[in-house]
Amino acid sequence: MFKNIRFKRISIKRSSLKTFGFFLLFASLIWFFVQISKEYTQVIDIPVSYVNVPMDKSIAKERPQNLKLRIQDKGFAIWYYKIFRPEVKLDLGKALEENGELVYNFEANREFLEDQVNINFEKARFIQESLSIKYQPKKKKRVKVNPEIDLSYAVGYSAREPVKLRPDSIQVSGPENIIDTLQSLNTVYLRINNINTNVSGKVKIDTSSLGMLSFYTNEVSYSQEVEKFTEGSVKVPIEVLNLPENTNISIFPKEVLVYYQVNLKQYEMVKAENFRVVCDYNDIDDGDDFIIARISESPSFVSNLRLNERKIQFVIKR
């Protein structure tokens, strides 16, 4: 009987403890919400980053990472800013140059800042009126851009001129020791296959491993006129250059075929007399029984020239 009485007392105490705990938690929550609904004035740190840094300037590594903001608001608003710490991006393109520094004025850019952090500036003020960022001037230079563009044409099509870039050079700025050694830039690699019409587009400039530099543009336009081509051939006599006096030479063959590619529209313009094939007597060494022929003259509008025979047999008669 004594044991039963003791068990009931313990049960009553545990039940009372749960009830007490519930009301304590409820009261604590009420107290917490009451407290955070009150207005407070407090200084908080706002992280900052920098965007639109002027191309001709390099800002110092030792620059402010946080801004101090005095805010008067409800407790939950202050709690939110302390926990989540929204970042402010300072547009240095809107900063003024004063005494070798970029000066960013908060009041002049008030609306821009309000949109970022969603703070009512009627109840908040930056402790500083402006922010000064030290910078180093960069050296500028115009650098040629080379196309890394691989074009593969459909059968019967080709181009007379190489790929054109526009612009073919761009403005670059950066530390003097890097800029002085930079001679040219390449586009990123681009391959286009089976081309049978004019090509054009935009291609990025390869800026990998050049993180210290600023590029005034990071892409260029490319273009090339593609035309229908055909292959032709003409028979051209071989000339021997630098033949000594009183020396006769017999060569075989005396004529060779010159193969070429030409725009279909200009095919009728190609004549044998537009070509010149030569061998140079000075290229003959003791024991040689042949001499190499080469094309020394050809029309400017033909391409992919080749000979049906380059090794020309010869006999010298003195």
Domain assignment present for 34: no
Domain extent for 210: 139-225
Residues 66 and 109 grouped into a single domain = yes
**What predicted TM-score, i.e. pTM, was given to this entire model?**
0.57
Backbone angles phi, psi at 192, to 5 degrees: -130, 130
Q: pLDDT at position 255, please?
A: 95
Out of 201, 225, 249, a domain closes at 225
Domain assignment present for 55: yes
- Residues 19-73 pLDDT 10s: 766 666 766 666 555 555 556 566 777 788 888 888 888 887 777 777 777 766 6
pLDDT at 1 over 60: no
Residues 114 and 158 grouped into a single domain = no
Distance CA 260, CA 305 (A): 5
Q: pLDDT at position 50, please?
A: 85
Residues 58 and 119 grouped into a single domain = yes
Domain assignment present for 100: yes
Mean pLDDT score across all residues of the chain: 83
CATH of the domain at 309: 2.170.120.30
Residues 47 and 127 grouped into a single domain = yes
The pLDDT of 101-105, averaged and rounded, is: 87
Domain total for the chain?
Answer: 3
Q: Is the dihedral of CA 103, 62, 209, 100 positive or negative?
A: positive
Confidence of residue 165 (pLDDT cuts 50, 70, 90): very high
Domain assignment present for 183: yes
Least confident of 58-62, 137-141, 212-216, 292-296: 58-62
- Residues 225-263 pLDDT 10s: 999 999 999 999 999 999 888 888 899 999 999 999 998
Q: pLDDT at position 68, please?
A: 77
Domain assignment present for 106: yes
Out of 85, 112, 137, a domain closes at 137
Domain assignment present for 254: yes
| Geometric angle at alpha carbon 135, from 131 and 139, rounded to 5° | 150
Give the 3-state secondary structure of residue 6: helix
Residues 44 and 119 grouped into a single domain = yes
Written as six digits, the tokens of 18 are 């749960």
Out of 137, 154, 172, a domain closes at 137
| Chain position carrying tokens 């300037």 | 57
